[in-house]
Structure 1
Amino acid sequence: MSETEGRPSDPREPVVRLFRDLRTRPTGLSSREAARRLVVYGPNQLVRKARGNWAKELGRQFTHPLALLLWAAAGLAMAAHTAPLTIAIILVIVLNALLAFAQEQQAEHAVETLARYLPAKAKVVRDGGLQVIDAGGLVPGDVLVVEEGDRVSADARMLDGAAEIDLSTLTGESLTAYRSAAFDDRAGPLLQARDLLFSGTTCTGGQARALVFATGMHTELGRIAALSQRVGRDESPLELQVKRVAWLIAIVAVTAGAAVLPVAALVARLPLADAFKFAVGLLVANVPEGLLPTITLALAVGVRALARGGAVVKRLSAVETLGSTTVICTDKTGTLTLNRMRVTDIWTSAGPIRNTGGKWAGLSSSPPLRAVAGVAARCNNAALEPAETGDPTEIALLRMSVSLGESGHNGERRRQFHFDPSLRMMSTVDTVDGTPWVHAKGAPEEVLKRTTMMMTADGATRPIGERDRAEIAEVVDGYASQGLRLLAVARRPLDAGVPLPARREHAEAELTFLGVVAMLDPPRPEVPDAVARCHTAGIRLIVVTGDHGLTAAMIAKRVGIARDRTQVVTGSELDAMTDDELDALLRKGNELIFSRSSPEAKLRIADALRAEGHVVAMTGDGVNDAPALRSADIGVAMGVSGTDVAREAATMVLTDDNFATIVDAVQAGRRVYDNVRKFICYIFAHATPEVIPFLVFALSGGRVPLPLTVLQLLAIDLGTETLPALALGREPAEPGLMNRPPRRRSEGVIQGAMLARAWGLLGGVSAVLVLGAFFGTLLLGGWHPGAATGPGSALHHTWQQATTMTFLGIVVCQIGTAFAARTQSASLRAIGVTSNRLLLWGIAFEIAFAAVVVLVPPFRAVFGTAPPEPAQFVLLLPFPLVVWGADEVWRWRRRRARTRSRNSRPDG
């Protein structure tokens, strides 16, 4: 049997042909045939796309540009026969590679979560009898038995029976759908076919037999899984920037080594061993060994902080992406609002009544009002006891019915036509006091299309006229303009003894209009402030919701999203737009509201925004939101109301479903990115005082001894520098963080001004101070250019003291650099000297570490240090103040120039 043999071209074809195509019969397959088909079709499982080989991924960490530089340094050290230095550099490479590899192994598990929807067991008819088998053993051609409480294990065509099916795993719709073998839907989307069952859904009532036509990745659930995997994940802006930084460092280091090594060997006439030693020192000085681990840990700190604030971020680099967000596409219900529906108003032909503090103000005992309460209770799947369960809208309707004296679900449910997003209606067929009734609720405009009669104030019915329709439309617009969610209710009796309508278009026809129910879902109190922060931060807000346009617009206005020029685009209008028209609409830059939108619309909007260069955060909660969540730069899933699939497909999960949490996450992302730039500036600032001593040594032709040994340099880069750099990753937000526009996606983490500040100002001042301490120590010890300082010479101890002064000078200059790097423009006084206690502890550690290197004999022997005189220690004390003071003056001048520029503008 070929792989496609026995597969139906259309599962909605006549059952007889379906049996023929699948080569099966109503009594099911034999066990032997099922085993053979299992080999052909494979297990009934969702298959995850194969991941890369872990060994290959780990190997890639050893070939990163920074790692390659260190390998080159290790090779030069080995050629120079300096084994301790070689081992030290290799250890640095291994530690960095392992840490980076561990970060990248934080994989996403969306498909594994989808697989949880498949039950462990399934009931099938095999060998002429009912058997319980592993769900993974289902094959096309099996006859599946589905009963109340079962999860459907494969896509199947119903053969007999009827059942209520929870399709929320596929459609996101909480209302159950009625499926029956009596239906025969040949047209329309496959998911809406009323005689088909789909893998991953749940039977909430009834019993049926169905013919399996698709398993595993060929099911609708598998299609969604495949789509989620096909939507790739782009590298975050920071990931791209770090790669650029690494290549920049590599180019600088290689260029410096290639240019200076011949000078050291040929012009300065250094011995080959000394030339190699010089090259190793230059490479090591140019490679910030702690850069990648520091960035990783700073992002991890951001992840932990967000989790405490209600946002669980699943990928470290996503923290930085949040900081560059330019557009937030948010749903309304539950994100901007509390998702706590409450009926506030009811309108019937007897007049309006209002719910004020739990009491109805108005005529609350008229026949139309009692009819509204009855329909709201029966056309309903929620429950109030023993605990409130169900959709918040239906719970609110049930509460309203009880408060008006309706006892609840009285009557026998005979049939249900589930809520159809395209029709925006739901209806049930119930027997009440022996009479079958159709009870319907839905969007007012849709219910009105299907009504021919209207109940009067005295309980009689009469034909509905154009004046009635105009009055109802006016009432609807009035409620919607107040931000209320609206439903119309209607009903009609059926003739006893006549077969119940099998199709909803037959049931939902010639209805009698009863009234309009208006509900309020209050905005979250913290959302207006969060929206205001978005506006000051230059972040655009777009509402994408399934609600009525006027309702969504009013809620958006209440929380501050909607402005005078905010445009409302309905789902039908969006569907009619070409891609160019959608691009033109989004390019205007105004806030927008997309009402009556589908999950597919979310994906289209996200793709269009990203094509325009925006960094997009998109909210979602349903299974079919998964592709849009993965396509967005930041997919945001609801932790309370969202499905497992949405939570796994998203980059960030809100544990409180709160829009304000998204804005807090954006602020945290900006802070993390700023802090990354701060410690990059801090690390780069030390390259100048570390490189210049080697240049002095080389360019002097050996007449000036080496001011800093390579092992002392590693002690700085790996010992004294790391903890303060990590502490800068915990720096609190700088004033005005959310008062500036988002940075461009193309903006580099390293800019010319940063390099000038790091290498020129901070590094230059540090280099002058350090070399001053080095030469001062040598000269006071009786050294003159060209004098011997090697082992056994009279000046060897003096030279060791001088290199120790260079080492300590760089360490104390790091302290001044750390305080200077804490802000990019504000003064240190604006943020407080002691506001980052971790930095103070980091500085204490580097002082203690430097003391150990200089004062403890075993470490002195390894690093070649010698304790300077007390007066020389005192000379180092003002170094941090000089470095910080120079940078403080530079930042003050920048602030003053910026203020003058603003004041000189015509609109300033």
Structure 2
Amino acid sequence: MGGCPMAEAVDVEPGVRLDPTERVDLLLRDLRSSRSGLTTREAQRRLVHAGPNELRRRGGLKWPGELAQQFTHPLALLLWAAAGLAWAVGIEPVAIAIVVVIVINAAFAFVQEQHAEKAVEALAAYLPMRAKVLRDGRASEVEAIELVPGDVLVIEEGDRVSADARLLDGGIEVDLSALTGESMPAFRSADLVDSRVPLLHARDLVFSGTTCTEGEARAVVFATGMHTELGRIAALSERVKKDDSPLETQVRRVAWLIALISVLLGAAFIPVATLGAGLSFLNAVIFAVGLLVGNVPEGLLPVITLALAIGVRGLARRGAVVKRLSAVETLGSTDVICTDKTGTLTENRMRVTIISTATGSSAPDRASPGDVPLAHLAIAMAACNNARLDDPGGAVGDPTEIALLNASAELGVQVDPDDRQRRRRRQFHFDPARKRMSTIDEDTDGQIRVHTKGAPEAVLPRCTHELDAGGHPRPLTPQRRTALDELVDAQAQRGLRVLAVAERDLATGENIPEDHEQAERDLVLLGTTAMIDPPRAEVPDAVVNCHEAGIRIIVITGDHGLTATAIAAQVGITRDEPVVVTDDQLDQMNENDLDKLLRETTELIFARSSPEAKLRIADALRDAGHVVAMTGDGANDAPALRRADIGVAMGRSGTDVAREASTMVLTDDNFATITEAIQAGRQVYDNIRKFIVYIFAHATPEVTPFLVFALSGGAIPLPLSVLQLLAFDVGTETLPALALGREPAEPGLMRRPPRKRSEPVVTAPMLLRAWLFLGVIAAVLAMAGFCYVLLTAGWRPGAPTAPGTPLHHAYLQATTMTFLGMVAGQIGTAFAARTEHASLRSIGALSNPLLLWGIAFELLLTVAIIYLPPLQELLGTAALTPDMLAFVLPYPVIVWGADELRRWLLRRRKHRFTEDANRGRPVECQ
């Protein structure tokens, strides 16, 4: 970005230009703002003039190109070949009909994909980007799209910067890689004023699209929307093309395979039909066209896209916002969940229950008024804190800090956030690696004091003294340290989260420390606080579902190992004594040791873990072939969330960085929602396989009439015309296929082991079931109906059936019977495809009303094709008699019943082998 312009005037709204690097007081004057921000009324007025803070799409219309793509996918190309072949030999009506089919399919696919795209884009409404601003003199959260020039942003670690802004106070580390490509964070501070440098290099400016990785600051917005640096780049850039999901790629490969097989079959059978069977070249081409059309599953791609989109929308209603369609497929094969504890397994509603000082332990509401160490601890908890209790919408901030602030208020400390900000001289933010946070504050007497809070094992080693009952520091003896360790362990074993709090007075004349190492030394221990965060009520059932589904749960938490163990046992994640690995122990392991630990240890908890540990664990599990879902909420969790197959961010407590890096966001921060998402992923994947079986099963009955015609050398007239075949493909197949994409979950769905990552969506057993079982039964039944009508009319092989012959009407009825028989077989196939393992009775024959409506539609269309004169003339059908209808009536039951019997035999066989295995006898097969 070396060519970016020097700092110059910027358009912030119509008619307003200013220099963002001019003196802060002048910038605030030009923006007609102040350090306390705007009023709500003024912000709303400016929003009308400046417009929403969003990037507008450019590049013209996209839909013509997207529509054109529907005419060039492999299945459409196959139909173009069939139309060209029909036109070349002079059967123009068939060619025109095929082109009409191509257009109808393309329009249908285009509509479905547009619907899917809109469904995914609509998910933004579930997760609006938020920004912290000062409005009416108070900190509040607004949607980032409502930011206007003059707003004062409050930027904290993990926040995404939503507009271009000038820092007013504080200092932060900012990831500018989205704009500059530089991977290392850059320091930005209100004290560093740059004016003769490129805009992006000005050290007192921050920009939309970047993220704060460390620190805290306030900044005034000077540009929003397309006026930002990100907007300028977006205006010059073309939209990145959407990649196909792995599932769509697999299906596309299958489509090319079908196309190749169809072309080879058609090309091979033309000489076979002409030379071997003695057909005329015209009849051979008709056969080839029918073969091509019969092998094309036209609705496959749009139905899959729509099913994935429906799954994504359904997950969003359950509290899991999936950010791309392909994640639904991955969810179904997840076999390891690496979960945090706080807020995910627990309610994230911290409450301080015990405060321990040198004078003893008590609850906050039972503390002695004259306890000096307790008074110091209460002041420290309020000072070393960024939460606030006075927000109109309720308490705002980290749940742990809110709990500490509530406890300080109970102990009589003033917790006014503005007063706290005035007294604060410096902050060293909480660092997951250091496991502590410190602030430097000035008390009412002018004394500068360091306040520190954090994990006991991180704070106690830095303490040299402890505040005694008289308020005087006394040395921390080894015996006292041992007693403190035992106290912490005892409270952690009860599932309590324990923090240590300490302070240090700066000596007269001592400079305010510039880094945390200087500040956090020679501390005086004030005491410890123990907080309870009860497990969520719904988590135990979700854990049972995971165990039954063969999904392993690993807890990775920053909490004490004993606390994590207690919570894991309460919710059922662990049953025996789990192996607890601390961050220090993990650091000492090499890759082989970690692989062995993950492979051989069933119940595993990683405690006091850093974000780097999460990344390492995710890598190890993926290298072992597992499909990993990893939860996280902090900015430092982003690498692990990106590396996991499914990165799961917290929608409530998570940072903007974590949400952007994730694949799925939990709007309720609830572990049970992860289980529901995995179940939904399995359900969507199962449904995709169901309608693939349904669509593929029709290839056999569609091709069979042309094979019978060709192999008989024309002695048997063509049992189905190409136009009737097209009517069957386009008119009666699609709606039931769409309905199968909305099937309820099959019983036992979450008692099956996870699908392997390498398992393709279309497997050999599926094809055998579709082509050689359901397809063969439906084909035999359709041909039986054809033969029944002809033989009843007195036809014998070789007898003429052309127009003008006595048997021509019977022939029309016979082809109509084939068409009706295929529709009847299609209905039976739809019911059979509804379950892969279970019986239809277990899910309910009427439990999918959409399928019933789809079948009703195809029956009405079939009646119209058979009995309406215009359609009879167009498609070559004839009205059927009651005995013919009665002949076809049992077809659906025969097709469904045969598959029901097959599934019953498979379940019985599996049950027998399971019993043999349980008795210790050799298992014959799996």
Report TM bin, short chain: 0.7 to 0.9
Q: Deviations over 1:114-173 (max 9, x none)?
A: 999899xxxxxxxxxxxxxxxxxxxxxxxxx998869798899x9xx9626597999xxx
Q: Distance in 2 between matches of 1:616 and 1:233?
A: 24
Does residue 399 in structure 1 map to residue 406 in structure 2? yes
Higher mean C-alpha deviation, range 236-245 or range 266-275: 236-245
1:418 to 410, 417, 428: 428
CA displacement at 1:697 relative to structure 2: 0.5
**Residues 103 and 486 of structure 1: is their aligned pair in 2 closer, same or farther, counting only changes over 3 Å?**
same
Give the counterpart of 1:81 among 92, 99, 112: 92
Q: Deviations over 1:519-540 (max 9, x none)?
A: 1122111111111111110112
Deviation (angstroms), 1:631: 3.5
1:281 deviation in Å? 0.7
2:522 is the alignment partner of 1:510? yes
Deviations 1:385-412 (A, max 9, x none): 2442222111111111121223335776
In the alignment, the residues of structure 1 paired with residue 22 and residue 588 of structure 2 have an alpha-carbon distance, to the nearest angstrom, of: 45
**Of the candidates 297, 305, 309, which is equivalent to residue 288 of structure 1?**
297
**Kindly, what percent of the aligned residue pairs are identical?**
55
Of 331, 339, 358, the match for 1:330: 339
Q: Where in structure 2 are the equivalents of 1:489-888 lying within 5 Å?
A: 489-496=501-508, 499-564=511-576, 566-575=578-587, 577-588=589-600, 590-888=602-900
Q: Which residue identity does 1:763 align to in structure 2?
A: G
**Shift in Å, 1:514:** 1.3
Report the Cα distance in structure 1 between the residues aligned to 2:316 and 2:819, rounded to whole angstroms: 40
Paired residues of 2:440 and 2:448 also in contact (CA < 8 A): no
Deviations 1:236-260 (A, max 9, x none): 5533432343234234323322332
Preserved CA contact (<8 Å) 2:453 2:499: yes
Question: Is the Cα–Cα contact under 8 Å of residues 112 and 303 in structure 2 kept in the other structure?
Answer: no
Aligned match for 1:317, one of 312, 321, 326:
326
Which stretches in structure 2 are left out of the alignment for 5+ residues? 8-20, 25-53, 134-149, 156-160, 178-186, 194-202, 221-226, 922-926
Letter in 2 for 1:327: V
Q: 8 Å contact 1:425–1:443 — kept in the other structure?
A: no
Q: Secondary structure at the match of 1:95?
A: helix
1: CA distance, partners of 2:2 / 2:176: 32
Q: Compute the displacement of 1:207 (Å).
A: 9.1
Q: Distance in 1 between matches of 2:777 and 2:769?
A: 11
Give the superposition deviation at 1:301: 2.4
- Alpha-carbon shift at residue 417 of structure 1 (Å): 2.4
Q: Distance in 2 between matches of 1:207 and 1:788?
A: 90
2:247 maps to which residue?
238
* 1:126-165 equivalences in 2 (<5 Å): 163=170
Paired position in structure 2 for 1:352: 361
SS in 2 for 1:432: coil
8 Å CA contact 2:109–2:302 kept in 1: the answer is no
Tell me: CA distance 1:690–1:887, structure 2 relative to 1, closer, same or farther (3 Å).
same
From the superposition, tell whether residues 492 and 314 of structure 1 become closer, same or farther in structure 2 (CA, over 3 Å): closer
Distance, in Å, in 1 between the alignment partners of 2:442 and 2:836 is: 69
Does residue 270 (structure 1) correspond to residue 286 (structure 2)? The answer is: no
- Distance change >3 Å, CA 242–CA 365, structure 1 → 2: farther
The 2-side partners of 1:266 and 1:154 are apart by 77
The one-letter amino acid paired with 2:676 is: D
How many residues of Structure 1 are paired with residues of Structure 2 in the alignment?
818
Structure 1 residue 467, shift from structure 2 partner: 0.9
The answer to whether the 8 A contact 1:165-1:201 is kept is no
> In structure 2, what is the Cα distance between the partners aligned to 1:593 and 1:345?
26
What is the deviation of 1:864? 0.9
How far, CA to CA, are the matches of 2:885 and 2:530 in structure 1? 79
CA shift at 1:502, angstroms?
4.1
Instruction: Answer with 459-468 or 100-109: which moved more.
Output: 100-109
Deviation at 1:97, TM superposition (A): 5.5
- Which consecutive residues of structure 1, in runs of 5 or more, have no partner in the other structure? 8-24, 29-44, 120-144, 171-176, 184-194, 209-214
Contact 2:498-2:528 at 8 Å conserved across structures: yes
Distance 2:698 2:912 in 1: 33
Q: CA distance change for structure 1 residues 115 and 850 in 2, over 3 Å: closer, same or farther?
A: closer
SS in 1 for 2:348: coil
CA contact (8 A) 2:71 2:102 kept: no
Inter-CA distance 95–903: structure 2 relative to 1 (3 Å threshold)? same
How far apart are the structure 2 equivalents of 1:656 and 1:51? 38
- Correspondence for 2:74 among 61, 65, 81: 65
Alpha-carbon separation, structure 2, partners of 1:376 and 1:865: 85
Q: Which one-letter code corresponds to 1:379 in the other structure?
A: C
Spell out, residue by residue over 1:790-843, the C-alpha distance to the aligned partner (whole angstroms, 9 max, x if none). Answer: 223222211110000000111112222222222222222222221122222221
Q: Cα gap change, 1:205/1:59 in structure 2, threshold over 3 Å: closer, same or farther?
A: closer
Cα distance, 1:694 vs. partner? 0.8
State how far apart, in whole Å, the 1-side matches of 2:606 and 2:829 are.
50
Letter in 1 for 2:555: V
Q: Distance in 2 between matches of 1:247 and 1:614?
A: 30
Q: Secondary structure at the match of 2:526?
A: strand
Counterparts in 2 of 1:680 and 1:647: CA distance versus 1, 3 Å: same
Give how far 1:888 is off. Answer: 1.7
Q: Is the 2:188–2:205 contact (alpha carbons within 8 Å) kept by the matching residues of 1?
A: no
1:737 alignment partner AA = L
Aligned pairs for 1:135-214 (under 5 A) are 163=170, 199=207, 200=210
Write the distance in 2 (CA, Å) between the matches of 1:693 and 1:406: 88
Cα displacement (A) at 1:669: 1.2
With over 3 angstroms needed to count, the CA separation of the structure-2 counterparts of 1:62 and 1:643, relative to structure 1, is farther
Counterpart residue type for residue 837 of structure 1: P
Q: Which residue of 1 aligns with 2:376?
A: 371
Residue 10 of structure 1: aligned partner: none
Which residue of the partner structure matches residue 468 of structure 1? 480
Whether the 8 Å CA contact 1:374–1:406 is kept in 2: the answer is yes
The secondary structure found in structure 2 opposite 1:274 is helix
Instruction: Give the deviation of 1:282 after TM superposition.
Output: 0.8
Q: CA deviation at 1:627?
A: 4.5
Instruction: Call closer, same or farther: CA 1:534–1:379 in 2, change over 3 Å.
Output: same
| 2:474 match: secondary structure | strand
Letter in structure 1 aligned against 2:371? S
2:443 is paired with a residue whose SS is strand
Q: Secondary structure at the match of 1:509?
A: coil
1:78 counterpart SS class: helix
What amino acid sits opposite 1:252 in the alignment? I
Say if 1:479 and 1:182 are closer, same or farther in 2 by CA, change over 3 A. farther
Partner of 2:902: 890
TM superposition shift of 1:491: 1.9
RMSD of aligned residue pairs (Cα, Å): 4.3
Preserved CA contact (<8 Å) 1:152 1:197: no
User: Are the equivalent residues in 2 in contact too, given 1:323–1:671 (CA < 8 A)?
Assistant: yes
TM-score (normalised: structure 1)? 0.81
Amino acid in structure 2 at the alignment position of 1:401: S
The alpha-carbon distance between structure 1 residues 764 and 147, as it changes in their structure 2 partners (threshold 3 A), is closer
Q: Distance between the aligned counterparts of 1:755 and 1:774, measured in 2?
A: 26
> Following the alignment from structure 2 to structure 1, what is the Cα–Cα distance between the partners of residues 22 and 733?
75
Closer, same or farther: CA 88–114 of 1 in aligned 2, 3 Å: closer
**What is the match of residue 182 of structure 2?**
none
- Flag the 1:149–1:105 CA change in 2: closer, same or farther, 3 A: closer
Normalising by structure 2, report the TM-score: 0.79
Rounded Cα–Cα distance in structure 1 between residues aligned with 2:879 and 2:345? 64
In structure 2, C-alpha distance between the alignment counterparts of 1:148 and 1:673, rounded to whole Å: 44
